[in-house]
Amino acid sequence: MNILICNDYEEMSKKAANMIAAQLIVKPDSVLGLATGGTPTLMYRELVRLYKEGVVDFSKMTSFNLDEYYPIQKSSPRSYYDYMRINLFDHVNIRQGESHIPNGEASDPHKECKEYDEMINACGGIDLQLLGIGGNGHIGFNEPGEYFEMGTHLVNLNEETKEANARFFEEGEEVPTKALSMGIGNIMNAKKILLIANGTEKADAIYDMIHGKISPKLPASILQLHRDVTVILDKDAASKFMFS
Ligand code: PGA
């Protein structure tokens, strides 16, 4: 693993945006795996800035998002569909129909998952996969468990994840209990992986991801076996790892 430790969230976001921009400059028709959540918001803002400055072009790329709540309407302001529109897709020249997100409105979630995997394969797989990490070590919504799920699948979100997600919902609003998520196989098949994390609440998971036993109980630990992973952290997320 190539590990970069930044002074703060802003530096982490800029470095991550630069890596995605570099990928698109070198291979304009890249297939990107994209992530949502609190961590990448500033990184997306930075990518939009690079696009507006003419540094990066999205017109030939294809993207696949890691996950989506299930069930959820695309129009819901809590959907990852809406998140991607607001944070990236509305501001750059990505082609219509080339940005894929698991469909939270699908009537048959298992069929949706199978078709999602088929679409990723038909595009030749993912060139660069962006990941955040949960405080419990999840990547995508691959929750700690007894085995690694390979393909896109329907997930029961665990209590820690629901609590972490609750910050994006109004009081009294129901926090989704399920999601559609790419599996560990989809992630590990990506040619390159970029994982970003900030804040002390991620420090334990980062430590275990790098130094822990490889186990589905800490899904991110599987990344120790991938040949091309870059981890970009702020000082807080790196705090346990740095001083161990
Ligand atoms: P966050 O989520 O960026 O909102 O902290 C990351 C994750 O759960 O993968």
Please give the pLDDT value at position 175. Answer: 87
Digits of tens for pLDDT over the chain (244 positions)? Answer: 999 999 999 999 999 999 999 999 999 999 999 999 999 999 999 999 999 999 999 999 999 999 999 999 999 999 999 999 999 999 999 998 999 999 999 999 999 999 999 999 999 999 999 999 999 999 999 999 999 999 999 999 999 999 999 999 988 888 899 999 999 999 999 999 999 999 999 999 999 999 999 999 999 999 999 999 999 999 999 999 776 6
Tokens 């703060």 -> residue: 8
Please give the pLDDT value at position 243. Answer: 64
Please give the pLDDT value at position 75. Answer: 95
**Interatomic CA distance for residues 155 and 127, integer angstroms:** 25
Mutational pocket test of ligand 1: of 68, 130, 133, the residue with most ligand atoms within 8 Å of the beta carbon: 133
Are the C-beta atoms of residues 228 and 191 closer than 8 Å to each other? yes
- Please state whether beta strands 67-69 and 178-181 pair in parallel, antiparallel, or not at all (unpaired): antiparallel
Q: Is 199 close to ligand 1, i.e. is its CB under 6 Å away?
A: no
Sign of torsion, CA 12 3 230 186?
A: negative
Q: Is 39 close to ligand 1, i.e. is its CB under 6 Å away?
A: yes
Please give the pLDDT value at position 241. Answer: 77
Mutational pocket test of ligand 1: of 13, 34, 39, the residue with most ligand atoms within 8 Å of the beta carbon: 39
Give how far Cα 141 sits from Cα of 5, 58, 187, 234, Å: 25, 26, 11, 22
Sign of torsion, CA 136 1 49 63?
A: negative
Please give the pLDDT value at position 244. Answer: 60
Please give the pLDDT value at position 28. Answer: 98
List 65, 87, 103, 138, catalytic entry? 138
List 46, 65, 67, 165, catalytic entry? 67
pTM value is: 0.97
Please give the pLDDT value at position 173. Answer: 85
